[in-house]
Structure 1
Amino acid sequence: MWKDSEYFKNKGELHRCAVFCALQIRGEVHDTEMVFVDRTSTDICLENAIVFSDMDPGFELSLQLYSCAVDEDSSLSGTPRRLSTRLGSSLGRSSGRRLRVAMDGACSNGGGSPILLPPPSFPGPKFQLLAHTKLTLDQVQDGFRTHDLSISSSGK
């Protein structure tokens, strides 16, 4: 995940990433909490207890690790209040004004035609599949364990 020169020689900027795992058995999918890592992190410990229902002993758990670079002023690292303020201000006056004009137009034409608004688009973080693995019962029982992951071809 980290370039050799960044990790072993402690050179370059300290890049931070937000990571989480998606876990799937058949059609049942769960995700873990998001954690922030940098080059000082050699292991990632996800402490969620995730329970899948009605699994037979021959199951195969698909684990996928997703990652997104985080800027220091990114909304990912901000508080929920700061994020809601950003969303509120991004939807601000102009969107409200357009919505009012559209609503007034629909009322003045008798309300016969429905108002079709484009879906709002919020620029947000773009997570990429970084690594993956498949685990069986023998590999996931007995509590805490370390697992090696295969780097995805799309992982950079």
Structure 2
Amino acid sequence: MVQDERRPRLATVDDADEIGRLLHDFNSEFETPSPGADVLAARLRMLLAGEATIAIIAGTPAVAVALITLRSNVWYPGQVALLDELYVMPHLRGQGIGSAKGVELIEINVDEGDVGAQRFYERHGFSPTEPDSNERSLYYSQELTAPKREGRDG
């Protein structure tokens, strides 16, 4: 289990500098251009002050970040969440930071016809079968608050 000081928490505007540093490091690690930690921090201060961006960080100082944006979508009257960025410092990967709040399994859904995404996730350790069995996983969903919409009724 991860140490208490690495437990994930909801970030605030005051965490923008640390998140900017992490996101810059993320791009640097994969040799992807970055506008720099300071520019990212300035953007994050603005975004985190609003209601459409959420960040979850772990550690003091921060060693991991998940950046989530909420957006409107034509298919839903409410907001849809998108995981924009997920980064853990390389030397801390595999140490349980993602399981610090009891998360022991990550589930994703991929369209049946999207074989490229299926290959990507399988290459990264995801399986189309249930853990500890060879049973094929199926994804089911239920809209909890949204009314039935034309083209989505089943």
- TM-score, length basis structure 1: 0.24
- TM-score, length basis structure 2: 0.24
Higher relative contact order (CA 8 A, sep 6+): 1
